[in-house]
Amino acid sequence: MYMTDFSLQSQRTKNILVASPGEQSPKEESKLTQLSTQLPRSLSTFETWGFGATGLLLWFGVAPAMHIELGEQAIWVWIPCTIVSVLLNLQLKRLGALWQDMSGGTPNYATRLLADYPLLGRYGAISYWLGWVSVPAINAIILADLIKSILLEFNLESPDGFLRVAFVILPYVVAFSGTRSLAIFQAFFIVPAVSLLVAFCVGGLGWLSFAPESPGLFPAAGVAAPSFVLWAKWFFVAVYAVYGCETASSFVAESRRPDLTLKCLKYMAILIPVVYVGGSWVLARLSTDPLAGENTFLHLLASAEPSGAGQHRF
C-alpha cells in the first residue's frame, strides 16, 4: 500500500515537472514551489538527537562563573530558568509536530506566530541568533583552559591565544562542510560528553545524599536568596544556556523521522532539571576551594573528588 502511494505521488510530481508553464494549474504550481524549496531529509534520528543534546553542555559555560559569585544562592537562578526551559521544550515539540517542514526551530516558529507583528518577530529571531553566536567562543575558552590545566601537570606552557582561536575556527570549518558532516562530527562527541555530565550530576547528588563524608544534601541554615540585581544579572546570562536545550527543533525539516526527532525535546525536558539544577547544586555544595578560580575543569574536578584527593592539583 505504501509503495503504491509513493509511486502515485512520484508520478504526480513527474507530471508537474514535465508540464509546460501554460499547462500547470495554480495548484500544481504551488506544489512545484513547495517541492523545490523543501530541504532534503538527510539526517538520521541519531544525528538530530546529537544536535538536540547540545544545550545540556552549555551548562559548562555558565555554572562555574555563577558559582564563583553566588555560591549556593545560584540555585535560585537555575530553578526558574529550568521551569521555563522545560515548558519551552514541550511547547516547541507541539509546534514542530504542526510545522514539520519548517527548519530553524524557535526563531522561525516565533516569526510565524508573530506574523501580524513582523518587527517583533524579527527582533525575537535576531535576539535568538545573538544568544547562540557566543557559544563557539565560550566553548573555545573552556577547551583551552582544560588543555592548560592538563599541561600544567607536566610543567608545560599552553599557547592560550592560539588554542582559543583554533577552537573557534574549527566548528565553522566543519559546519561549512555541510549539515551532514557537522551532524556526524557532533554525534561522535555528544554521546560521551552528555553521558559523563549526567553521571556527574546523578552521582554527585547520590554522594551528597548517602555518603558518610558528605556535608549533606542541604545546608542546615538554608539558602538565602541573592539580591534582585545579582539575580537579574545571572538570570540574563543563564537563559542563553538553559533555553538552548531545544536545538532538535531546528532540524525537524531535515530529519528522516521528524516524529522521533521531536521526541528528543521531551527527553531533554527530563534531563534539564538533572543537569541545570542537580549539577549546579553538586557544584555549589562540593566545589569550595577558592584556588579553582574561574577554571571550569578545576571546579568540576573539585566536585568529582570531594574528599580532597584533587585539591593538590590546584
pLDDT in tens, 78-99: 999 999 999 999 999 999 999 9
Please, is 145 exposed, middle or buried when counting C-beta atoms within 10 Å of its C-beta (0-12, 13-18, 19+)?
buried
* Residue 147 β-bridge partners: none
pLDDT band for position 25 (50/70/90)?
A: low
Least trusted range by pLDDT, from 22-36, 182-196, 206-220: 22-36
* Residue 255 β-bridge partners: 43
**In the prediction, which pLDDT does 7 show?**
40
Using the structure block, give the residue that is written with the C-alpha cell 601537570: 153
Angle at which helix 296-304 crosses helix 135-152, to 10 degrees, equals: 60
Please, is 220 exposed, middle or buried when counting C-beta atoms within 10 Å of its C-beta (0-12, 13-18, 19+)?
exposed
Contacts of 228 (CB under 8 A, 6+ apart): none
Provide the mean pLDDT of the chain: 81
Q: Specify whether the CB–CB gap between 39 and 253 falls below 8 A.
A: yes
**In the prediction, which pLDDT does 142 show?**
80
pLDDT in tens, 243-269: 888 888 988 998 999 999 999 999 999
Q: How many CB atoms lie within 10 A of CB 301?
A: 19
C-alpha 283/C-alpha 292 separation (Å) is 12
Residue 48: which of 280, 265, 215 has the closest Cα? 265
**In the prediction, which pLDDT does 13 show?**
37
C-alpha 186/C-alpha 171 separation (Å) is 10
DSSP state of 305: S
pLDDT in tens, 120-138: 988 888 888 887 787 788 8
pLDDT in tens, 158-194: 788 888 888 888 878 877 777 777 788 778 888 899 9
